[in-house]
């Protein structure tokens, strides 16, 4: 029983990492209908930036976090302006390929000698790990911080999107750009803001990830990114609370199936569950379907 | 016997009762109008007739057969065709291809003969091509055959949609606001076209329209729908003078 | 009808000429084994990409699991030839067939999904296939299968690629079934209103496309002589999609061009200076993005290379250079 | 107030607007009528900055505005009800209205305007929390007008507001247009329904294949034989 | 169609002898790729400094295989058909070396795999393919022996990447040998490529009280696993394989890998002056620590050069014959090939001490 509860804690901890990445994913998707595969590489850049902020610039945790968020926000905006904006009216497959191109670019540029080099780096221990034990159950302060950050980010983002003027403008831009412009919305700015926020979130994810799993390498974003993408879809793409729930679910499913069903098949099990859920709810757990003929 | 018989048709969207206990009878080769205020549920009725929505209650009988609840593509095979309120052409296909789409479900050639192109398949394809061109000629659109549908002006798109629906060989044609966005001159032409279609193809037409001139000119019978409910039914003159219709829909000047 | 057949004869003659030219170049050593290898690789992935174009470009179904069907074909044919001594061509047919059947089985439930939801399901299917192979010892697990016979020569690849090209061309551009498939991409609701069972056509296109992937997988197994599950993961599916999108979704000749460029490009970059070599994948990424920015609709858009189009093109070049140029018929028709 | 001089608009190779000029004075209702594809919508989109113009100039309140981004013009008091309504289908009716007041700083004033809009369109009030995408065509048109009014525009551009509406609503909408003008908003009205439009307007322009072929006093146009034949049926 | 070696005729005139190198320079393990390439470069430099091969300068052309099975054959094909190399060294992953081996066989060009431990590599090479490293069965066996005898382990747990041929191969051999040797593998579970969180399975292991935890995977992943294991209170010995052999192990694993053992090809903390000199040169030239793979790569080039010298020409069958007859002193070990073209050489066991890989044991194959 204790072990089961411990596994639940493990699952939630893993899931909150997925959720954190997933939230940013889903937000960018929700606003510009773009599966931004480069998101997980901005996540990677976020982790590396955090690394340099802490080791080279000798910043503390919070300043390093903000530094990394700022760098990634800027990076996100630049990527959007250079690589995505000219393709706004193109087929979404075209954009998808471009995001994959950007992804390859980021992965390959980070490992050049001028930047991080090809070797793995170790994310420094900015916050000393403290482990708590309660009745045989064990968890660390970093795990708590991760969960806390993802819940707060999720709530803040959801509030921003659903309740504020900027959020409405984001949704309007996503729905119909010309009509949004006729409302006086500066759509280029809104899209930039969206990317800035999404990328800053990715940076947060990167740093938290680095603290939990202190290993930095150029492809570090790929697998968590894929899982986060799955989480976003599971929750209903574009829906922030959905991404949160999706992330936690994937974390739990992965952990429990690994331990109690088969470690070799756990990824397959996670996907099978995803497919089944989508067959029952074709637009994800929280997705809505609007067909008007 | 009537061609289409709708009894107690009802549909609910969550809490909203969009159409409630609606009845409609359309005879062979009849020109029938369905009017009513915005949001009354007219398009929703079309969607139920064509299987896009499944009714929550009531029955639809067409040509002596229950058709409620069956798939849209099967309903087409039972010879009901429609146009859409917001034009839904295959924008990236040519005008000709759009019309040929109407014949496609009637094609005999299988997948395999399509891939290897048997003589029979080639002949069938050529025949369809011919028929489609004929239909386009009738609509004075033969010159536009190779144009992409999305590049046509609005009015032409509406006409193309009607042509495409006719290619599907309907006994009942449903037109959802065919005159929307047309000027009086074009509307007058459309009036003629609708009558001509009925006579030439010997089919019934059910028409949703807000242009009263068109409706009153063309339709032999009219049903008025308001808030999902049947408000009145009858000949154009009866409807025009029905005070409830005037109050709910026509307005003082409109009458 | 006569015209149709006349056109076909022309195309066949064009293909034979093209084949002969290649063979001469191989035999005389003007194309060395390395280039021969790259050309065969292009041919194999072209077959898969053509199938993907049918699904993605013509039917508008967003799939990210195409490589998985290649792996199904690859394993089927490898096991058949290696463990059961089945003749190569028969094994290829079995590879295509198995992939197609599996496509129908999984396509039936999941093709009801749309857009990105379909994408993630197909991606998930791909991962499931990969994990499955990893866990089955008979299939070699993660260690893969080696010692597969080298059978995928230029001739068989050339013939099969031409065949797949022709199948899609005939289907899409000259038949009711093809229009039905196209209409699914354009507007499903309108297509249903035209009496088209959209689910059925989605499944048909999916099965044909995945069958081609299976065929390509079978060829790949007997080309690489070694297969492992990693080689067919989702990044390979993305790669295939890149070929299709760069060439132009809905253009078969575009797929030929896209596949050729994107397989040749990283190889070409090998041949350059050491500096280029060091940044090879970085340059590849930049070029990929630039190409998409430069031609968002793909190199060919939805157009095909036609004899008339080529004549026109060469005519223009002629006019520019004002000199007589020998016009080579590439022999692809529209 | 608004002066369009000699503009050209292209869509790729298509020359949609050819040297068009028109003028709208403060307080006027001016109507632009013409057949399908004549270029009415293209003109409005050019004015509001959604379509770039090739040649010519556009002045609004004596300032050159033809190179401004679309959203900037809204800040200067020009609102548009676009053709085909273009409401934000995945937001509620209320949110759509709030978006109409996107640039307004005074939230309490905006609230007031919303009350007025609801008073004018009670149907919309009923559906305040409903997703706009599930409204019927007519309801959506009302919402689109209401949304434009939320910006308290000085100049309102209306693109076929009667399209797809029940006769009684068309009446209502034309009454509203009149009222809006009476409250001091200048209106440029694009219509297929030339009859109604000309009855309402002070002046009118007739557009054919991208150029103005006729213009003048609304009454004169109503009685013009050519106009009657082509546009009044 | 197989063509005969083409490096004759005009080649004799040229002042260079060209060999090819294939390394995973991009892809998921660029760190290992560059460690390998650097080792090969140093070998070429040393050989040329000592007068080259057959009196000519040795030249290395490196190609990238992206650590992908579908790319690697293109890389070797380019080297053979385009650059007309006399022989090829490379690469890291067995899944890349195997399809490369079939091409080497087809074209009749000698190839020395640097670090691919799957037995198949040389089997598919039809006599043309050799390797510089030991093979999986040996490594798994030695690991098991060491655990049983030196660590006195009775219960073992294994945790490895199910998707990596390398991990699966070794784990399998370890299990067989450990069980046969009287121990019991009580936990045999896997994770997937790219996983970073291993707590679920480690929690399970923590409850089993095993004596040794066997982790045959790349150094970077292993560093994370060890860390999480220690956090969960797993204090038993941890044992690994040659893919631990990179300074990155300590970078990531930190104090968690302290005291762990792993099977390796070489130990840098020995009295062997050659190895010491190599490490010095490497550091001064490339600014980073060499790994076991740098040494293997160096030795592979040495083997190839040695064979060409012995063969007296770049004729491929002569080189192959010379390779078969190899008796050469490498950096760390003596090279002789068995009938399967695998080197008969000892396995080193290293231990992590104060962040350094310290020699613990050398086990000779019987
Ligand atoms: N899918 C749906 N979900 C929720 N409500 C819907 C849906 N489809 C239609 N409705 C509602 O049903 C009612 C009837 O809509 P319908 O489109 O049938 O009206 P209509 O009579 O065609 O109006 P108009 O003349 O304006 O087109 C409307 O109030 C609409 O909001
Ligand atoms: N996005 C576009 N791309 C290409 N051509 C276009 C585009 N929009 C409009 N056109 C063309 O420009 C011309 C003018 O179109 P516009 O929409 O301005 O006409 P309109 O007078 O508003 O017609 P309607 O009464 O149908 O609304 C037409 O020939 C139309 O086909
Ligand atoms: Mg309607
Ligand atoms: Mg218009």
Please give the residue range of the domain that contains residue B38.
Answer: 1-43+56-79+171-193+210-254
Residues B134, B32 within the same domain? no
Domain D26-50+70-231, architecture per CATH: 3-Layer(aba) Sandwich (3.40)
How big is the CA angle at E187 (ends E146 and E145), to the nearest 5 degrees?
Answer: 10
**CB-CB under 8 Å, E231 with A131:** yes
Q: Is the pLDDT of residue C303 over 50?
A: yes
**CB-CB under 8 Å, C183 with B168:** no
| Counts of helices then strands in chain B (DSSP H, E) | 11, 10
Q: Is the pLDDT of residue E310 over 70?
A: yes
Q: How far is the CA of B53 from the centre of ligand 3 (A)?
A: 14
Please tell us whether the domain made up of C32-326 is placed in CATH 1.25.40.
no
> How many residue pairs from chains A and E have C-beta atoms closer than 8 A?
97
Nearest one of E305, E349, E302, E308 to E329, comparing CA atoms: E302
What pLDDT is recorded for position B4? 94
Distance CA(A139)–CA(A134), nearest Å, equals: 9
What pLDDT is recorded for position C326? 42
Residues B98, B149 within the same domain? yes
Nearest protein Cα to ligand 2, atom 4: D11
Contact residues, chain A, for D103 at CB < 8 Å: 183-184
Which tokens is A271 given? 């996907």
Which residue stretches of chain E are H helix?
30-49, 72-77, 94-107, 120-123, 136-149, 165-180, 199-206, 219-231, 248-253, 273-286, 292-311, 316-324
**CB-CB under 8 Å, A275 with C117:** no
Average pLDDT over residues E153-173: 92
CA max distance for chain C: 65
Residue B153 is assigned to a structural domain of this protein: yes
What's the sign of the alpha-carbon dihedral C113, C115, C121, C122? positive
What are the domain boundaries of chain C? 1-31, 32-326
* C-alpha dist (Å) from residue C86 to B21, C78, C94, C95, C149: 66, 10, 10, 12, 12
Query: By CA distance, what is B74's nearest residue in C?
Result: C195
Q: How far is the CA of D92 from the centre of ligand 1 (A)?
A: 15
Which tokens is C100 given? 């197609």
Q: How far is the CA of D191 from the centre of ligand 2 (A)?
A: 14
Mean pLDDT of all residues belonging to chain B: 91
Which of B84, B106, B121 is closest, CB to CB, to C175? Answer: B121
Distance CA(B226)–CA(C235), nearest Å, equals: 56
pLDDT tens digits, A104-144: 999 999 988 888 888 888 898 888 888 888 888 888 898 99
**CB-CB under 8 Å, C174 with B117:** yes
Which tokens is E64 given? 């990238």
Range with lowest mean pLDDT among B110-114, C303-307, E298-302: C303-307
- Does chain D reach chain E with at least 3 CB pairs under 8 Å? no
Q: Which residues surround ligand 4, an ion (CB under 5 A)?
A: D 40-41, 83
For residue E53, what are the β-bridge partners?
E56
- Whether D39 lines ligand 2, by a CB cut-off of 6 Å, is yes
**CB-CB under 8 Å, A108 with C285:** yes
Nearest one of E197, E178, C140 to E188, comparing CA atoms: E178
DSSP string, E70-120: TTHHHHHHIIIIIS--S-EEE-S-HHHHHHHHHHHHHHT--EEESS---TH
Residue B48 is assigned to a structural domain of this protein: no
- Whether D147 lines ligand 2, by a CB cut-off of 6 Å, is no
CA E230 to chain centre: 28
- Whether D92 lines ligand 2, by a CB cut-off of 6 Å, is no
Nearest protein Cα to ligand 2, atom 16: D39
Q: How far is the CA of C218 from the centre of ligand 1 (A)?
A: 53
Q: Å from A191 to nearest chain D CA?
A: 14
Distance CA(C150)–CA(C138), nearest Å, equals: 21
* Residue A106 contacts residue A45 (beta carbons within 8 Å): yes
What pLDDT is recorded for position D233? 59
D37 or E17, higher pLDDT: E17
* Residue C333 contacts residue C10 (beta carbons within 8 Å): yes
Q: Which residues surround ligand 3, an ion (CB under 5 A)?
A: B 43, 85
**DSSP 8-class letter at B58:** E
Mean pLDDT of all residues belonging to chain E: 90
* Residue E202 contacts residue E229 (beta carbons within 8 Å): yes
Question: Neighbours of D (≥3 Cβ pairs closer than 8 A)?
Answer: A, B
Strands E88-90 and E111-113: parallel
Distance CA(D9)–CA(C295), nearest Å, equals: 24
* Closest listed ligand to the CA of D139: 1
Using a CB–CB cut-off of 8 Å, the residues of C that contact B are: 1, 4, 167, 170-171, 174-180, 182-183, 186-187, 189-198, 204, 302
* Residue B173 contacts residue B196 (beta carbons within 8 Å): no
Band the pLDDT of C276: cuts 50, 70, 90. confident
Residue B16 is assigned to a structural domain of this protein: yes
Query: By CA distance, what is A101's nearest residue in C?
Result: C285
Q: Å from D188 to nearest chain B CA?
A: 18
* Residue E88 contacts residue E5 (beta carbons within 8 Å): no
Q: Calculate helix-pair angle for A222-235, A240-260, nearest 10 degrees.
A: 120
pLDDT tens digits, A232-267: 989 988 899 999 999 999 999 999 999 999 888 988
pLDDT cut 90: percent of chain B above it? 69
SS3 annotation, chain C: CHHHHHHHHHHHHHHHHHHHHHHHHHHCCCCCHHHHHHHHHHHHHHHHHHHHHHHHHHCCCCCCCHHHHHHHHHHHHHHHHHHHCCCHHHHHHHHHHHHHHHHHHHHHHHCCCCHHHHHHHHHHHHHHHHHHHHHCHHHCHHHCEECCCCCCCHHHHHHHHHHHHHHHHHHHHCCHHHHHHHHHHHCHHHHHHCCCCHHHHHHHHHHHHHHHHHHHHHHHHHHHCEECHHHHCHHHHHHHHHHHHHHCCCCHHHHHHHHHHHHHHHHHHHCCCHHHHHCHHHHHHHHHHHHHHHCCCCCCCCCCCCHHHHHHHHHHHHHHHCCCCCCCCCCCCC
> How many residue pairs from chains B and D have C-beta atoms closer than 8 A?
94
DSSP string, E156-210: EEEEEETT-HHHHHHHHHHHHHHHHTT-EEEEEEEE-TT----HHHHHHHHTT--
- Whether B154 lines ligand 2, by a CB cut-off of 6 Å, is yes
How big is the CA angle at C34 (ends C28 and C39), to the nearest 5 degrees?
Answer: 85
Band the pLDDT of C331: cuts 50, 70, 90. very low
Q: What is the dihedral of CA A152, A156, A158, A159, to 10 degrees?
A: 140
Residues B10, B74 within the same domain? yes
Ligand 1 is surrounded, with C-beta below 6 A, by A 291-292; B 13, 16, 18, 36, 38-44, 85; D 134-138
Q: Is the pLDDT of residue A204 over 70?
A: yes
Mutation pick from E38, E164, E188, E199 vs chain A, by most beta carbons of A within 10 Å, is E199
Touching check for B97 and chain C: CB below 8 Å?
A: yes
Touching check for A182 and chain D: CB below 8 Å?
A: yes
Q: Is the pLDDT of residue C334 over 50?
A: no
> How many residue pairs from chains B and C have C-beta atoms closer than 8 A?
112
Which of C171, C187, C198 is closest, CB to CB, to B88? Answer: C187
Nearest one of E3, E14, E19, E13 to E302, comparing CA atoms: E19
Q: Å from A181 to nearest chain D CA?
A: 5
pLDDT tens digits, E277-286: 999 999 999 9
Which segments of B105-242 are extended strands (E)? Answer: 172-176, 204-208, 221-226, 229-234
Nearest protein Cα to ligand 1, atom 16: B41
Which tokens is B103 given? 């014949």
B173 or B2, higher pLDDT: B173
Nearest protein Cα to ligand 2, atom 12: D16
**CB-CB under 8 Å, C176 with B104:** yes
Residue B61 is assigned to a structural domain of this protein: yes
Mutate which of D7, D17, D31, D42 to test ligand 2's pocket (most atoms within 8 Å of Cβ)? Answer: D42
ipTM score of the complex? Answer: 0.90
Residues B112, B150 within the same domain? yes
Which tokens is D170 given? 């068309």
Residue B155 is assigned to a structural domain of this protein: yes
Residue B64 is assigned to a structural domain of this protein: yes
Q: For residue D92, give every residue at least 6 positions away whose Cβ sits within 8 Å of its Cβ, in sequence order, or none.
A: D128, D129, D130, D131, D132
Q: Which atom of ligand 1 is nearest to the CA of B53?
A: 1
pLDDT tens digits, D105-126: 888 889 999 998 998 888 889 8
pLDDT cut 90: percent of chain E above it? 65
Mutate which of D9, D15, D16, D190 to test ligand 2's pocket (most atoms within 8 Å of Cβ)? Answer: D16
Nearest protein Cα to ligand 2, atom 6: D11
Distance CA(E173)–CA(E167), nearest Å, equals: 10
Which of D48, D88, D103 is closest, CB to CB, to A176? Answer: D88
* Closest listed ligand to the CA of D46: 2
pLDDT tens digits, E118-135: 989 999 998 999 999 988
**CB-CB under 8 Å, B38 with D137:** yes
Question: Neighbours of A (≥3 Cβ pairs closer than 8 A)?
Answer: B, C, D, E
Distance CA(A199)–CA(A38), nearest Å, equals: 10
Q: For residue A156, give every residue at least 6 positions away whose Cβ sits within 8 Å of its Cβ, in sequence order, or none.
A: none
Burial level of C99, CB count in 10 A (0-12/13-18/19+)? buried
* Residue D164 contacts residue D138 (beta carbons within 8 Å): yes
pLDDT tens digits, C282-293: 999 999 999 999
Q: Which residues of chain D have pLDDT under 50?
A: none
Touching check for A91 and chain B: CB below 8 Å?
A: no
How big is the CA angle at B3 (ends A293 and B6), to the nearest 5 degrees?
Answer: 55
Q: Is the pLDDT of residue B179 over 80?
A: yes
Mutate which of D36, D37, D38, D193 to test ligand 2's pocket (most atoms within 8 Å of Cβ)? Answer: D37
* Residue C63 contacts residue C119 (beta carbons within 8 Å): yes
Strands E237-240 and E261-264: parallel
Q: How far is the CA of D37 from the centre of ligand 2 (A)?
A: 5
Q: Å from A174 to nearest chain B CA?
A: 21
Residues B183, B244 within the same domain? yes
Nearest one of E1, D137, D15 to B210, comparing CA atoms: D137
pTM: 0.91
Nearest one of D62, D63, D42, D70 to D54, comparing CA atoms: D42
Residue B199 is assigned to a structural domain of this protein: no
Contact residues, chain A, for D80 at CB < 8 Å: 182
Contact residues, chain C, for E100 at CB < 8 Å: none
């Amino acid at each position: 029983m204790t072990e089961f509860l411990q596994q639940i804690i493990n699952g939630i901890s893993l899931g909150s990492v997925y959720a954190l990445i997933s939230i940013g994913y889903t937000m960018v998707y929700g606003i510009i209908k773009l599966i931004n595969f480069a998101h997980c590489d901005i996540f990677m850049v976020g982790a590396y930036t955090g690394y340099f902020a802490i080791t080279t610039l000798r910043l503390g945790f919070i300043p390093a976090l903000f530094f990394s968020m700022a760098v990634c926000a800027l990076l996100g905006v630049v990527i959007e302006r250079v690589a995505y904006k000219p393709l706004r009216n193109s087929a979404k497959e075209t954009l998808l390929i471009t995001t994959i191109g950007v992804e390859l670019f980021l992965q390959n540029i980070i490992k050049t000698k001028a930047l991080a080099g090809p070797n793995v780096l170790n994310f420094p221990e900015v916050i000393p790990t403290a482990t708590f034990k309660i009745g045989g159950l064990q968890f660390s302060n970093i795990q708590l911080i991760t969960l806390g950050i993802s819940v707060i980010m999720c709530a803040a983002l959801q509030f921003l999107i659903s309740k504020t003027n900027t959020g409405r403008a984001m949704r309007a831009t996503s729905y119909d750009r010309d009509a949004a412009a006729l409302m006086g919305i500066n759509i280029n700015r809104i899209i930039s803001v969206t990317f800035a926020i999404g990328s800053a979130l990715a940076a947060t994810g990167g740093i938290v990830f680095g603290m939990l799993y202190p290993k930095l390498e150029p492809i570090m974003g790929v697998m968590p990114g894929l899982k986060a993408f799955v989480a976003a879809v599971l929750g209903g793409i574009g829906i922030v609370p959905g991404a949160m729930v999706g992330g936690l679910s994937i974390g739990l499913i992965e952990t429990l199936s690994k331990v109690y069903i088969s470690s070799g098949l756990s990824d397959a099990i996670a996907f099978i569950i995803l497919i089944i859920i989508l067959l029952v709810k074709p637009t994800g757990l929280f997705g809505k379907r609007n067909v008007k003929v | 016997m009537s061609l289409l018989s709708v009894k107690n048709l009802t549909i609910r969207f969550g809490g909203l009762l969009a159409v409630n206990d609606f009845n409609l009878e359309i005879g062979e080769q009849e020109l029938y109008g369905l009017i009513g205020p915005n949001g009354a549920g007219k398009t929703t009725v079309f969607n139920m007739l064509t299987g896009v929505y499944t009714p929550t209650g009531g029955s639809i009988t067409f040509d002596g057969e229950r058709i409620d609840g069956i798939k849209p593509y099967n309903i087409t095979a039972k010879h009901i065709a429609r146009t859409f309120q917001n034009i839904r052409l295959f924008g990236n296909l040519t005008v000709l291809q759009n019309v040929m789409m109407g014949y496609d479900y009637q094609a005999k050639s299988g997948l395999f003969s399509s891939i290897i192109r048997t003589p029979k398949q080639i002949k069938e394809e050529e025949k369809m091509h011919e028929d489609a061109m004929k239909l386009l000629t009738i609509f004075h659109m033969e010159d536009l055959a190779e144009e992409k549908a999305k590049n046509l002006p609005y009015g032409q798109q509406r006409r193309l949609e009607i042509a495409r629906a006719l290619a599907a060989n309907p006994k009942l044609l449903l037109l959802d606001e065919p005159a929307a966005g047309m000027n009086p001159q074009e509307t007058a032409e459309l009036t003629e076209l609708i009558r001509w279609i009925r006579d030439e193809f010997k089919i019934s037409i059910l028409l949703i329209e807000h242009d009263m001139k068109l409706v009153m000119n063309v339709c032999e019978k009219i049903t008025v729908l308001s808030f999902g409910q049947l408000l009145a039914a009858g000949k154009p003159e009866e409807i025009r003078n029905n005070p409830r219709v005037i109050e709910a829909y026509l307005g003082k000047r409109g009458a | 009808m006569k015209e149709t057949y006349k056109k076909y004869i022309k195309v066949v003659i064009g293909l034979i000429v093209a084949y002969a030219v290649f063979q001469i170049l191989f035999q005389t050593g003007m194309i060395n084994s390395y280039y021969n290898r790259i050309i065969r690789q292009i041919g194999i992935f072209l077959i898969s990409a053509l199938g993907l174009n049918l699904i993605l470009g013509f039917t508008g179904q967003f799939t990210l699991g195409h490589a998985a069907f290649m792996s199904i074909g690859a394993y089927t044919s490898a096991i058949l030839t290696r463990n059961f001594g089945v003749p190569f061509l028969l094994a290829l047919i079995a590879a295509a067939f198995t992939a197609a059947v599996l496509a129908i089985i999984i396509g039936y439930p999941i093709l009801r999904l749309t857009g990105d939801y379909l994408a993630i399901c197909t991606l998930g299917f791909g991962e499931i296939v990969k994990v499955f192979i990893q866990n089955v010892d008979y299939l070699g697990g993660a260690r893969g299968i080696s010692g597969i016979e080298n059978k995928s020569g230029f001739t068989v690849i050339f013939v099969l690629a031409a065949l797949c090209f022709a199948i899609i061309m005939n289907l899409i551009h000259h038949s009711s079934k093809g229009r039905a498939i196209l209409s699914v991409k354009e507007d499903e609701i309108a297509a249903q209103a035209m009496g088209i069972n959209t689910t059925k056509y989605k499944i048909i296109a999916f099965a044909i496309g995945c069958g081609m992937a299976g065929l390509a997988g079978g060829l790949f197994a007997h080309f690489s002589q070694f297969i492992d599950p990693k080689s067919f993961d989702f990044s390979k599916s993305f790669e295939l999609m890149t070929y299709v999108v760069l060439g132009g979704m809905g253009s078969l000749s575009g797929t030929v061009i896209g596949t050729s460029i994107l397989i040749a490009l990283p190889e070409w970059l090998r041949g350059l200076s050491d500096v280029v070599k060091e940044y090879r994948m970085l340059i590849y990424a930049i070029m990929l993005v630039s190409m998409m920015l430069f031609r968002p609709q793909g190199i060919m858009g939805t157009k095909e290379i036609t004899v008339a189009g080529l004549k026109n093109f060469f005519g223009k070049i002629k006019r520019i250079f004002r000199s007589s140029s020998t016009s080579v018929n590439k022999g692809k028709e529209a | 107030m608004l002066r369009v001089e000699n503009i050209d608009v292209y869509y790729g190779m298509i020359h949609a607007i050819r040297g068009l000029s028109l003028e709208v004075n403060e307080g006027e209702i001016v109507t632009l009528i013409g057949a399908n594809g004549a270029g009415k919508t293209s003109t409005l989109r050019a004015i509001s900055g959604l379509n770039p113009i090739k040649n010519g100039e556009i002045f609004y309140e004596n300032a050159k505005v033809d190179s401004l981004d679309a959203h900037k013009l809204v800040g200067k008091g020009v609102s548009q009800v676009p053709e085909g309504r273009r409401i934000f289908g995945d937001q509620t009716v209320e949110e759509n209205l709030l978006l109409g007041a996107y640039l307004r700083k005074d939230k309490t004033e905006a609230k007031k305007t919303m009350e007025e809009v609801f008073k004018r369109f009670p149907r919309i009030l009923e559906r305040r929390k409903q997703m706009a995408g599930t409204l019927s065509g007519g309801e959506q048109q009302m919402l689109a007008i209401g949304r434009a009014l939320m910006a308290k525009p000085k100049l309102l551009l209306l693109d076929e507001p009667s399209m797809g509406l029940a006769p009684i609503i068309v009446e209502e909408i034309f009454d509203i247009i009149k009222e809006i003008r009476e409250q001091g908003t200048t209106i440029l009205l694009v219509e297929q329904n030339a009859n109604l439009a000309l009855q309402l307007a002070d002046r009118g322009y007739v557009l054919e294949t991208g150029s103005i072929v006729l213009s003048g006093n609304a009454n004169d146009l109503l009685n013009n034989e050519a106009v009657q034949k082509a546009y009044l049926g | 169609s197989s063509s005969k070696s083409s490096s004759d005729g005009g080649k004799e005139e040229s002042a260079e002898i060209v060999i090819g190198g294939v390394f995973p320079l991009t892809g998921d393990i660029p760190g290992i790729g560059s460690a390998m390439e650097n080792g090969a470069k140093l070998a070429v430099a040393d050989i040329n400094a000592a007068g080259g091969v057959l009196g000519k300068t040795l030249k290395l052309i490196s190609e990238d295989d992206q650590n992908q099975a579908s790319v690697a054959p293109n890389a070797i094909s380019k080297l053979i058909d385009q650059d007309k190399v006399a022989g090829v060294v490379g690469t890291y992953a067995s899944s890349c070396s195997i399809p490369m081996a079939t091409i080497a066989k087809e074209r009749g060009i000698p190839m020395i795999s640097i670090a691919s431990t799957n037995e198949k590599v040389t089997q598919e090479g039809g006599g043309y393919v050799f390797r510089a490293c030991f093979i999986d069965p040996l490594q798994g066996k030695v690991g098991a022996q060491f655990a049983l005898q030196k660590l006195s382990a009775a219960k073992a747990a294994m945790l490895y990447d199910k998707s990596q041929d390398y991990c699966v191969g070794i784990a399998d051999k370890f299990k067989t040998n450990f069980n046969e040797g009287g121990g019991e593998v009580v936990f045999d579970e896997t994770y997937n490529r790219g996983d970073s969180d291993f707590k679920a399975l480690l929690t399970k292991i923590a409850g089993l009280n095993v004596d040794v935890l066997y982790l045959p995977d790349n150094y970077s992943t292993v560093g994370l696993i060890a860390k999480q294991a220690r956090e969960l209170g797993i204090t038993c010995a941890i044992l690994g394989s040659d893919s631990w052999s990179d300074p990155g192990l300590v970078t990531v694993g930190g104090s968690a890998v302290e005291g762990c053992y792993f099977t390796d090809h070489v130990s840098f903390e020995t009295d062997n002056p050659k190895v010491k000199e190599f490490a010095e040169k490497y550091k001064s030239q490339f600014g980073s620590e060499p790994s076991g793979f740098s040494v293997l790569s160096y030795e592979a080039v040495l083997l190839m050069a040695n064979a060409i010298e012995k063969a007296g020409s770049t004729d491929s069958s002569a080189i192959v014959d010379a390779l078969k007859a190899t008796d050469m002193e490498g950096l760390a070990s003596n090279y002789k090939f068995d009938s399967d073209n695998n080197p008969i050489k000892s396995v080193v066991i290293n231990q992590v001490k104060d962040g350094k890989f310290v020699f613990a044991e050398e086990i000779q194959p019987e």
